Amino acid sequence: MNILFVAHDIRSALSIIEPALSITEGHPLCWSVTEDHNVINACYDVVFLLSYRKIIPEAILDRVQGKVVIFHSSDLPEGRGWAPIYTALHSGKKVHTITMCYAAHEVDAGLILAKARSKIHMNYTASMLRKIGQAMISYLIGRYALRFDGGKPPGTPQKGKSIYIKRRTFKDGEINPRKTFKKIIPHLLASEEAHPAFFIHEDETFYLNVVSANQWIDNSFLVEEYFDGRKGKVITIQDWKREIE
Residues 64-123: tens digit of each pLDDT: 888 999 999 999 999 999 999 999 999 999 999 999 999 998 889 999 999 999 999 999
pLDDT at 244: 44
pLDDT at 84: 94
Between the CA of residue 95 and those of 12, 127, 133, 222, what are the distances in Å?
24, 16, 11, 11
Q: How many angstroms separate the CA atoms of 179 and 185, rounded?
A: 10
154, 112 in Cβ contact below 8 A? no
More confident residue, 236 or 109: 109
23, 146 in Cβ contact below 8 A? yes
pLDDT at 26: 78
78, 88 in Cβ contact below 8 A? no
H or E segment and range at residue 68: strand 68-72
Between the CA of residue 240 and those of 98, 138, 139, 224, what are the distances in Å?
17, 13, 9, 12
pTM of the model: 0.91
Residues with Cβ < 8 Å from 28, sequence gap 6 or more? 1
pLDDT at 236: 65
Architecture (CATH level 2) of domain 2-165+217-244? 3-Layer(aba) Sandwich (3.40)
Least reliable range by pLDDT among 27-31, 70-74, 189-193:
27-31
**159, pLDDT greater than 70:** yes
Burial of 241 per CB tally in 10 Å (0-12, 13-18, 19+)? exposed
Residues 38-57: tens digit of each pLDDT: 999 999 999 999 999 888 88
List the beta bridge partners of residue 235: 223
First to last CA, the chain: 20
pLDDT at 92: 94
Burial of 174 per CB tally in 10 Å (0-12, 13-18, 19+)? middle
pLDDT at 194: 87
Q: How many angstroms separate the CA atoms of 184 and 198, rounded?
A: 11
**207, pLDDT greater than 60:** yes
Write the Ramachandran bin of 47: left for phi over 0, alpha for psi from -120 to 50, otherwise beta.
Answer: beta
Residues of the chain with CATH 3.40.50.170: 2-165+217-244
Q: How many angstroms separate the CA atoms of 9 and 235, rounded?
A: 31
pLDDT at 239: 60
